[in-house]
């Protein structure tokens, strides 16, 4: 720092919060049975964990459907709770973090 004392214009104050707050978006990929009420179970599982759905896309096949969704989460623990709730839903076969 001594070598820079003659040029104080090169210094400026910076700061950051110790912890980020607010919602983050997590992309999830689900495989579920193509049956009535499975989608409502998925949305209810997210709501029970105080999550919010930012986007949802369903691709149906004969026996199964692929669900791509973006959920707003507070932190990693919140995401883990949402994913556990989704895995417990009747008709849900698989839940994974989607790759960007």
Domains present along the chain, CATH in parentheses: 23-95 (3.30.70.260)
- Tens digit of each residue's pLDDT (9 = 90 or more) over 13-43: 544 454 556 789 999 999 999 999 999 999 9
Q: CB under 8 Å to 11, separation ≥6 — which residues?
A: 4
Spatial separation of the C-alpha atoms in residues 71 and 46, rounded to whole Å: 8
Residue-wise pLDDT for 38-91, tens only, equals: 999 999 999 999 999 999 999 999 999 999 999 999 999 999 999 999 999 999
Nearest to 67 by CA among 92, 84, 100: 92
pTM reported for the whole predicted model: 0.76
pLDDT reported for residue 16: 41
Helices and strands of the chain, counted as H and E runs: 2, 4
- pLDDT at residue 84, rounded to an integer: 98
For 58, the token pair is 């369903």
CA–CA gap between residue 26 and residue 56 (Å, rounded)? 12
pLDDT on residue 23: 82
Non-local CB neighbours of 9 within 8 Å, separated by 6+ positions:
none
What is the distance between the alpha carbons of residues 65 and 35, in angstroms, rounded to a whole number? 9
């Amino acid at each position: 720092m001594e070598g820079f004392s003659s040029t104080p214009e090169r210094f400026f104050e910076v700061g950051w919060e110790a912890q980020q707050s607010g919602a983050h978006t997590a992309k999830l990929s689900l495989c579920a049975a193509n049956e009535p009420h499975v989608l409502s179970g998925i949305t209810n599982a997210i709501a029970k964990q105080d999550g919010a759905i930012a986007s949802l896309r369903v691709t149906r096949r004969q026996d199964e459907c692929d669900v791509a969704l973006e959920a707003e989460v507070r932190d990693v623990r919140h995401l883990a709770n949402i994913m556990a709730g989704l895995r417990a839903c009747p008709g849900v076969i698989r839940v994974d973090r989607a790759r960007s």
